């Protein structure tokens, strides 16, 4: 003898959107402007005109937000940029802050 059991379909699950994080590029006196523009184009997918504008903003103001991403993406792009900088011998610095 089979028993049939019904459940109410009214359970609600709240899904929280992941927080966004700003990737911040910091100025230094040793990393070349050309290298910074390359990083912005290759890793942060800026077009050449915007990459140069961001680079100049960092140069003049000491820092700039170069992108806002979920944490994992922000960390991956920051690590890629920092690794490339170390391989090239630059003291380039970036940080991640919650948006």
Strand ranges, E, within the chain: 20-26, 63-70, 93-98
Q: Tell me if 91 is assigned to some domain.
A: yes
* Domain CATH code at residue 71: 3.30.1390.10
| Residue that has been written with the tokens 């792009």 in this structure | 77
Full pLDDT tens readout for the chain, 99 residues: 566 665 556 677 888 888 999 999 999 999 999 999 999 999 999 999 999 999 999 999 999 999 999 999 999 999 999 999 999 999 999 999 999
Q: Tell me if 7 is assigned to some domain.
A: no
Q: Tell me if 59 is assigned to some domain.
A: yes
- Phi-psi category of 62—alpha, beta or left, where left has phi over 0 and alpha has psi -120 to 50? left
For position 4, what pLDDT does the model report? 62
Residue 77's domain spans which residues?
A: 30-98
Q: Tell me if 85 is assigned to some domain.
A: yes
CB-facing half-sphere around the CA of 46: CA atoms within 13 A? 20
Residues contacting residue 32 through CB under 8 Å, at least 6 positions apart: 90
Q: How many domains does the chain have?
A: 1
Q: Is 78 helix (H, G, I), strand (E, B) or coil?
A: helix
């Amino acid at each position: 003898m089979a028993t049939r059991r019904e459940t109410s379909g009214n359970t609600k699950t709240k899904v929280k959107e992941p927080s966004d994080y700003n990737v911040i590029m910091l100025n230094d006196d040793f990393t070349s402007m050309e290298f910074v523009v390359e990083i912005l184009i290759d890793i942060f997918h800026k077009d050449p005109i915007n990459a140069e504008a961001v680079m100049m903003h960092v140069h003049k103001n000491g820092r700039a937000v170069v992108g806002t991403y979920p944490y994992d993406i922000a960390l991956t792009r920051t690590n890629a940029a920092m690794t490339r900088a170390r391989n090239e011998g630059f003291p380039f610095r970036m940080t991640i802050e919650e948006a």
